[in-house]
Copies of this chain bind each other. A is one copy, B any other.
Amino acid sequence: MQRLHRSIETLVRSYDTYGLVNQAGSENLPSRDSIADILRGLDELVFPGFREIGALDHDNLRLSTAEKVYHLARELIGEVEKSIAFSSRLGEASCGHDGCHAAAELIVDDFFDELPLIRGMLAKDLQAAFEGDPAAKSTAEVILSYPGFEAITIHRMAHFFWTREVPLIPRIMSELIHGRTGIDIHPGAEIGESFFIDHGTGVVIGETTVIGRNVKLYQGVTLGALSVKKDGVNKKRHPTIEDKVTIYSGATILGGETVIGRGSTIGGNVWITESVPPGAMVYTTSGDQVVRTK
């Protein structure tokens, strides 16, 4: 125990030494665990009847919805306020205590205004998923078990906070769902309606990606950047995918100038760094494969 006593002293002192791995001396940050709880709550609000362990209480639907909204509003305001105050300390924004709180309230009010529209978007994504997978037996199955649908659900909410320039929270949201599904969608990506990702593990969609309507991706697809210089200029580094494009598993599409034209099909494992015209079909010939009998 004598050694532990000494280790504690060293550790506490080190909290003043390595500035980067150390928030001990500064103020409160948004909490990953709280945001995970908030997402669970929003999920119940967006899909009433699908997430509750017991039966939904129909008689009291209005009361239970009000309770959830007030609870989530309070929790969200707290986390958003901490995020804004954080960037205020970094000099990116400027608000005192009351200002940060008021700004957070405004954003959260707007978010709940927006929520019915988000539900409308998700209704189209759900239809796209159901129609896009022959194995899907019902839309209920999609809501209950499709990771791609779960990912777009969270993305559409995280993206709202991204557009409102709330720091940290959108990325925490996107990484929570990345952790659960293996689907990594940056909250900055703009994604049109009726979007579907099948299987999904390994999908990466970068910050400045723009995706049109009725696009469908499979597992392992990367929509990434060519250059990774950090030059401070916030320019488009990730591709544009136009409407009605399908991209098969393992395909890699890179570059902010790259546009995949409307209605194209990108084959599995294809590597693309330049634009593709509308209606194109891109695939690799497997000419180098050798089949040898042992």
Contact = CB atoms under 8 A, between A and B. Distances in A.
- SS class, residues of chain A in contact with chain B: mixed
B201 A116 contact: no
A201 B230 contact: no
Contacts of A94: none
A64 B24 CA distance: 12
A264 to B, nearest CB: 8
Contacts of A67: 67, 70-71, 74
Given A61-B12, A141-B171, A50 B29 contact: yes
A206 interface: yes
B119 A144 contact: no
Interface string A1-19: 1011101101110110011
B122 A21 contact: yes
Contacts of A46: 21
Interface in A171-214: 171-172, 174-175, 178-182, 184, 186, 188, 199, 201-202, 204, 206-207
A263 B294 CA distance: 9
A269 B252 contact: yes
A182 B167 contact: no
B58 A63 contact: no
